[in-house]
A and B are shown apart, each in its own frame.
Chain A
Amino acid sequence: MVGRPEPSPGLLRRLDDLARAAFPAVCAAVLMIMASGPTGLPTLVPAVALPCIIFWSIFRPGAMPPPAVAVLALLQDLLTLAPLGTGVVTLLVAHGLAVAWRRFLVRQSFVFVWLAFCGFAIGTAGLGWMLTALLAWDLPAPAPSLHQAALSAGLYPAFAFVLGRIHTAMRQAEETV
């Protein structure tokens, strides 16, 4: 192999790679926009964003780099009426923690990952609440944050099921190539 450059990949192959790399972030963005649509619930947006980001951060961090997380979080802040930037901070912190612990989490069973995700949900909700309180210099009601945490924790298994299937399909596609 030394000295012989790898043959340059074909167009279809490159498109395939690109699609695979872009899928997680684009899929999360589309889901968030759909959740914020006139037929969806606005509180659903953070509950959709968090499972997607955490799942891909743990199982495929290459497909969910920090800039993508930042863009998704900004989209979340704009779609919901949260103070601009709070979502970005909380999701980036959650992403960083998930990436840091991923070596340990990947090997655990589904239920354990779910429990860890519950911790993430509560943590992000708490951090978001704290930042909102700090920005407004006033204590907002804690109930909406708790609802949001419970909603995203409850939605995680469904997301994990579908995204897990997609993830295995992607891995198979990569191995066969």
Chain B
Amino acid sequence: MIRLSIPLRQALSRLSLPVLIAVAFGTMLLGKADALLAERARTALADALMPFYAAFAEPAHAVRDAIEELEQLFVMREENARLREENERLRRWQAAALSLEAENAMLRRQLSFVPERAPAYHTARVVADGGGVYARAVLLSIPPEMQVRRGQIALDERGFVGRVTEVGNRSARVLLATDMNSRIPVTLEGSRARAMMVGTNGARPRLQHWAEGSRPAEGERIVTSAEGVAFPAGLPIGVVRWTESGTAEVELFARLDRLDVVRLFDFGLGGILPPEAVARPEPRGRR
């Protein structure tokens, strides 16, 4: 340590503040003149402080996690109450479901009801529409290993599309519900009344031949009827729409104007089939 006389030391300590302020002004000007210098100094400082920050971040994270956990605990209490209430409600529903199930079982026993087995279906791609003798029909591409029969029922993902009328080796033609030749026996879902759905070549087939006194209501759902053994009961078709001129029409669920894939269901029904002779091309033998 350099020993200095007391007056000199006092003078130095008195001088240090003004000198430092002057140096600070110099630093300001230097920082202004060379902006890169300050950036470099900041980067160096950040590099030097990095281990400190890393060490400090650990307990900070721990504290933050603890706080979050605490918050979650509070939320949990609320959620618990909500879940308990919901559980209560669901328990009531469960009781209702169980009683309905029991009732259902009892009714089935009394009716000796035989449940239908789930129908098998294949999916086929629509490759062309129109053509053939029908105005409203689509052609399906059928892989050779797929078994397709006439009378099978085509549905898209929403509802009834039509019936298979012609089958070739690699293709099948589906007569759409909108074709003029299409006649589908239907049931009005609400009133269980029977009717016929008749195609008109338009977008909406007409509803005809319902029984006296069971006028179809606007918006009523239409499903297939098992009458005539051509269709299983209960396939969704569409809803009733009355036109301004007073005819009942069916707005189909299926989007017949943009079919790309249909499901062909084989319900094993062999009711009324279209006549064999209608423009059916002879299946060519496989080469």
Q: Give the complex CA separation of A95 and B18 in angstroms.
A: 11
Q: Is the CB of A93 within 8 A of B21?
A: yes
Contacts of B60 in A (CB 8 A): 37-39
Contacts of B111 in A (CB 8 A): none
How close is B115's CB to chain A, nearest CB, in angstroms? 65
Residue-wise, chain B 3-42 has the 8 Å CB interface mask toward A (1 for contact) of 0000000000100110011011111111110000110011
Q: Is the CB of B21 within 8 A of A38?
A: no
Q: Is the CB of A89 within 8 A of B21?
A: yes
How close is B232's CB to chain A, nearest CB, in angstroms? 68
Q: Give the complex CA separation of A37 and B26 in angstroms.
A: 29
Q: Give the complex CA separation of A92 and B18 in angstroms.
A: 9
Contacts of B42 in A (CB 8 A): 78
How close is B59's CB to chain A, nearest CB, in angstroms? 9
Q: Give the complex CA separation of A86 and B24 in angstroms.
A: 8
Q: Give the complex CA separation of A84 and B60 in angstroms.
A: 30
Asked if A83 lies at the interface with its beta carbon under 8 angstroms from chain B, I say yes
Residue-wise, chain A 80-118 has the 8 Å CB interface mask toward B (1 for contact) of 000111101100110110000000000000000000000
A5-13, A17-25, A63-71, A158-166: which lies at the B interface? A63-71
Q: Is the CB of B16 within 8 A of A89?
A: no
Asked if A135 lies at the interface with its beta carbon under 8 angstroms from chain B, I say yes
Asked if A34 lies at the interface with its beta carbon under 8 angstroms from chain B, I say yes
Which residues on B are within 8 Å of A, measured CB to CB? 13, 16-17, 20-21, 23-32, 37-38, 41-42, 45, 49, 52-53, 56-57, 60, 64
Beyond A85-B26, A85-B28, A92-B21, 5 additional pairs, beta carbon < 8 A: A37-B60, A67-B20, A78-B42, A83-B31, A92-B20
Between A and B, 30 residue pairs with Cβ closer than 8 Å are: A37-B53, A37-B60, A38-B57, A39-B56, A39-B57, A39-B64, A66-B16, A66-B20, A70-B23, A70-B24, A78-B38, A78-B41, A78-B42, A78-B45, A79-B45, A83-B31, A83-B38, A84-B27, A84-B30, A84-B41, A85-B24, A85-B25, A85-B26, A85-B29, A88-B24, A88-B27, A89-B24, A89-B28, A92-B24, A135-B32
